């Protein structure tokens, strides 16, 4: 039997400012590796990973930006049909936190599903330096009805949880899961 016969495929996006660690989070999640020299130019287009959440075997097609976010906007086709989005900022760089509103606006403009599930991820918590507190991240997420987690692509903290909680919420959302 082909995969498509048994698995529901979900489209997940990773968005946020350039350099916050989107590609690193994706690589950590799919390949369990971290490359400190991660170059913006070798960003992947998308990766596929199958996970089981609460007994539901789910195939995730996770879309990375391949560096396009440097132009501060992504194409409408990037957003089309996505059930979940991971919005990333860098806890050591306040500017990336300040840009979250811009990314949410773009998401609202282009998302074709109004009930798309959103996960806010504060990345790079392994670093000594910090410019955005956990409370600030949590408050932002609450204000915008998002899930929230702090993470480190370098140490793995929170990475698996971020994807699993997102998928769990999608499964619980009628109209997103059963199509
Ligand atoms: P992107 O532009 O959002 O895809 O960001 P990248 O994944 O290319 O990461 C940008 C830089 O931050 C790279 O040098 C990564 O090695 C580094 N980086 C990403 N995640 C982490 C993290 O959790 N901790 C630390 N210390 N560095 C990270
Ligand atoms: Mg990247």
**pLDDT, tens only, 28-44:** 999 999 988 877 655 66
**pLDDT, tens only, 111-165:** 988 899 999 999 999 999 999 999 999 999 999 999 999 999 999 999 999 999 9
Q: Are 120 and 103 in contact (CB under 8 A)?
A: no
Q: Are 96 and 16 in contact (CB under 8 A)?
A: yes
> Ligand 1 centroid to 20 CA: how many Å?
6
Q: What interhelical angle do 159-172 and 22-31 show, nearest 10?
A: 90
From 14, 17, 19, 27, give the residue whose CB has the most ligand 1 atoms within 8 Å, as the site to mutate. 19
* Residue 53, beta-bridge partner list: 56
User: Considering every ligand atom, which ligand is closest to the CA of 18?
Assistant: 1
Question: Is residue 3's pLDDT more than 60?
Answer: no
Place of tokens 């408050």: 139
Q: Is the CB of 118 under 6 A from ligand 1?
A: no
Complex ipTM value: 0.99
Q: Is the CB of 23 under 6 A from ligand 1?
A: yes
- pTM, entire model: 0.94
Per-residue confidence band for 45, with pLDDT thresholds at 50, 70 and 90: confident
């Amino acid at each position: 039997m082909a995969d498509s016969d048994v698995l529901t495929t979900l489209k997940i996006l990773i968005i946020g400012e350039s350099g916050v660690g989107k590609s690193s989070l994706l690589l950590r999640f799919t390949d369990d590796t971290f490359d400190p020299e991660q170059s913006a130019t070798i960003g992947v287009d998308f990766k596929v990973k199958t996970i089981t959440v609460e007994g539901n075997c789910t195939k995730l097609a996770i879309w990375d930006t391949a560096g396009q976010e440097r132009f501060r906007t992504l194409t409408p086709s990037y957003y089309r049909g996505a059930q979940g989005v991971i919005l990333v900022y860098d806890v050591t760089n306040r500017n990336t936190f300040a840009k979250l509103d811009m990314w949410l606006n773009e998401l609202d403009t282009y998302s074709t599903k109004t009930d798309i599930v959103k996960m806010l991820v504060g990345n790079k918590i392994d670093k000594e330096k910090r410019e955005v507190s956990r409370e600030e991240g949590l408050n932002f997420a609450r204000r915008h009805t998002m899930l929230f987690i702090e993470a480190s692509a370098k140490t793995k903290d929170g990475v698996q949880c971020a994807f699993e909680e997102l998928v769990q919420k999608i499964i619980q959302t009628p109209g997103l899961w059963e199509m």
